[in-house]
């Protein structure tokens, strides 16, 4: 049958379209069926990916970025880097990584650290549950005499360590043949195999992991860098934004996406749900040269971090004054109004902020902080514009 040969199928479908032997709707259905069938074939055979390891490793050793966590096989340092890199750009992580290891050079030091100090050090990096899980895991490892788990399954048992992170640590730190599949790797594989399956489907990710696992090299020195090499290719050449730089790619000669002109359209990913928008009014309440802070609840978004008092909704000045009065404070002088927006993964905060001098004690959970106390506390970057304003206001005192 003509559909058993993929190249012939492409030509045949194009000819049928040109001759109008099928309507556009029928052709679309055929293409959907064809893509699904052929993706299944690509992800269960080694026909393309088996050619990848040699050229990829040679390219990586000649072109890899010099990143500090690539200069070590210390599982603690690799673990810290992998947690920091979750949903965070390399450029943003570099400074935090250096400061973190300087402050907590060993897993025992991290395990013993006061939470407030840890969260302050993490301030601005986002996804703060990562820091708490780091410390939980550090305490588990410290209880085992500082010896890190060295297998995928044992690493997976640590708080905050998922499939990708366990594989990345197992391979880079211990030379285990475990394929680490992140967004970069998915993109590389889908383009190499010209596959249009939805990468948001867990079954697709599982199939890609099995495929990469099957072609991983055997030598320990190669295993340690293979996952890094695949991710590096996806981050720097087979990149997500703009056209892939195919002429710089070590897989150029056998990449089906390049040869068929489909690489720029891949990978396919289902539409995300739109983020929920939440309106908030934030207050910089100044009293006797100090500013009000309060701690967020211990669970949920930004759990346990410090924030400026705020309420739901975008309030005008009259309504904002009434809200302040509910806290048992008397507005004395309104100084400024600031708007800001912060985007989380699933929600957007649209904020209206007021700076005002007040009198009164306020609720028991308010802490009145001077400049030093403000700088010692972990205030999330969601309040970044208000933090800058607060620090400047206290400097005037």
- What number does CATH give the domain 49-265? 1.10.340.30
Name the residues annotated as catalytic: 82
pLDDT band, residue 36 (cuts 50/70/90): very low
- Average model confidence (pLDDT) across the chain: 88
The span from the CA of 230 to the CA of 114, in Å, is 37
Report whether pLDDT(43) > 70: no
Q: Which superfamily is assigned to 276-395 in CATH?
A: Nucleoside Triphosphate Pyrophosphohydrolase (3.90.79.10)
Identify whether the C-beta of residue 343 lies closer than 8 Å to the C-beta of residue 275.
yes
Q: What is the pLDDT of residue 298?
A: 87
Q: Is the bond into 133 cis (omega within 30 degrees of 0)?
A: no
Q: What is the pLDDT of residue 39?
A: 54
How many residues are recorded in the chain?
Answer: 397
The CA-based dihedral angle spanning residues 244, 250, 254, 257, taken in that order and rounded to the nearest 10 degrees = -10
Helices (H) and strands (E) in the chain, counts: 17, 7
Task: Give the number of other Cβ atoms within 10 Å of residue 372's Cβ.
Answer: 8
Distances (CA, A) of 359 to 287, 324, 365: 6, 10, 16
Q: What is the pLDDT of residue 386?
A: 95
The span from the CA of 352 to the CA of 208, in Å, is 45
pLDDT in tens, 189-215: 999 999 999 999 999 999 999 999 999
Kindly state the DSSP code that residue 146 receives in the 8-state scheme: T
CB proximity list for 142: less than 8 A, separation 6 or greater: 107, 108, 111, 112
Q: What is the pLDDT of residue 92?
A: 95
Q: What is the pLDDT of residue 192?
A: 95
The span from the CA of 84 to the CA of 88, in Å, is 7
Would you call 345 helix, strand, or coil by DSSP? coil
Report whether pLDDT(8) > 50: no
pLDDT band, residue 48 (cuts 50/70/90): confident
The span from the CA of 311 to the CA of 320, in Å, is 9
- Tell me the pTM: 0.81
pLDDT in tens, 231-280: 999 999 999 987 889 999 999 999 999 999 999 999 998 888 899 999 99
Phi, psi dihedral angles at 291 (to 5 degrees): -125, 145
What is the C-alpha R_g of the chain? 26
pLDDT in tens, 53-103: 999 999 999 999 999 999 999 999 999 999 999 999 999 999 999 999 999
pLDDT band, residue 38 (cuts 50/70/90): very low
């Amino acid at each position: 049958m003509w559909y058993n040969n993929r190249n012939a199928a492409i030509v045949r479908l194009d000819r049928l379209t040109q001759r109008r032997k099928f309507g556009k709707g029928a052709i679309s259905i055929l293409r959907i069926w064809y893509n699904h069938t052929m993706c299944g074939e690509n992800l269960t055979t080694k026909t393309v990916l088996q050619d990848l390891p040699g050229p990829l490793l040679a390219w990586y050793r000649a072109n890899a970025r010099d990143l500090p966590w690539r200069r070590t096989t210390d599982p603690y340092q690799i673990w810290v880097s992998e947690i920091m890199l979750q949903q965070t750009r390399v450029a943003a992580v570099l400074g935090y990584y250096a400061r973190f290891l300087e402050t907590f050079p060993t897993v025992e030091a991290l395990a013993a650290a006061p939470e407030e100090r840890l969260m302050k050090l993490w301030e601005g990096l986002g996804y703060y549950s990562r820091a708490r899980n780091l410390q939980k895991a550090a305490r588990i490892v410290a209880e085992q005499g500082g010896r890190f788990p060295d297998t995928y399954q044992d690493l997976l048992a640590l708080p905050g360590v998922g499939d990708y992170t366990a594989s990345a640590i197992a391979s880079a730190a211990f030379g285990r043949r475990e394929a680490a599949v992140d967004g970069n790797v998915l993109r590389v594989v889908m383009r190499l195999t010209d596959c249009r399956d939805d990468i948001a489907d867990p079954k697709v990710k599982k199939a890609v992991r099995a495929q990469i696992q099957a072609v991983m090299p055997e030598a320990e020195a190669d295993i340690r860098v293979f996952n890094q090499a695949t991710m590096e290719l996806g981050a720097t050449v087979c990149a997500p934004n703009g056209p892939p730089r195919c002429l710089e790619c070590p897989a150029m000669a056998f990449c089906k996406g390049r040869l068929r002109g489909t690489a720029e359209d891949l990978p396919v990913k289902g539409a995300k749900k739109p983020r929920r928008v939440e309106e908030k009014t934030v207050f910089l309440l100044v009293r006797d040269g100090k500013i009000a802070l309060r701690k967020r609840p211990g669970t949920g978004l930004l759990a346990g971090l410090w924030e400026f008092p705020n309420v739901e909704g975008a309030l005008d000045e009259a309504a904002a004054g009434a809200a302040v009065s509910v806290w048992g404070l008397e507005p004395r002088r309104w100084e400024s109004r600031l708007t800001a927006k912060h985007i989380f993964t699933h929600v957007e905060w649209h904020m209206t902020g007021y700076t005002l001098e007040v009198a009164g004690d306020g609720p028991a959970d308010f802490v009145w902080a001077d400049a030093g106390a403000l700088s010692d506390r972990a205030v999330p970057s969601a309040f970044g514009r208000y933090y800058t304003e607060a620090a400047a206001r206290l400097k005037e005192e």
